[in-house]
Amino acid sequence: MLLRFKFFILLLFVSNQLWAEQVSLTIIASEYSGKKVNIWKIDDLFTSHRHLISSKIIEKDSVQFLFDADDYTLIHIELDYQYAVLLVQPEKKYRLVFAPPNKKSTLTLAKNTPANFLF
């Protein structure tokens, strides 16, 4: 009986991984070369609980992320002192172009400023 239960759990895990589809997210930020980009998955809107999906450094004006999503997923993108929230769908490709940094905002030491970006 225990062997059947373990097999069932393994089958459930493998089938769940097969249904998860990749999301492609390209971030173009020419003024942010050398800066770190964090992609967080928001798990719960009430508690703001989230977990880190990926983190990369922008090289040559852009960076690309590939991550699994089995349904619509709300993500939080952090770049320098700015952030953006985006709802992504599995099997889709997204391109975000971040506007150059606002010198006035960087001087105010604002840590969480909504980003200006093109979708």
**The 93-98 sheet, strands edge to edge:** 62-69, 21-28, 93-98, 117-118
What are the residues facing 37 on neighbouring strands? Answer: 56, 79
Predicted confidence band of residue 30 (pLDDT cuts 50, 70, 90): confident
- Banded model confidence at residue 55, pLDDT cuts 50, 70, 90: very high
Residue 107 pLDDT exceeds 60: no
- pLDDT band of residue 26 (cuts 50, 70, 90) is very high
Q: Is the pTM of this model over 0.85?
A: no
CB 66 within 8 A of CB 23: yes
- Separation of alpha carbons 119 and 116, rounded Å: 10
Q: Which residues contact 37 (CB under 8 A, 6 or more apart)?
A: 27, 29, 55, 56, 57, 58, 63, 65, 77, 78, 79
Angle, CA 49 vertex, CA 54 and CA 13 arms, to 5°: 65
Query: What confidence tens digit (pLDDT) does each residue in 63-79 have?
Result: 999 999 888 999 999 98
Contact 102, 31 (CB under 8 A): no
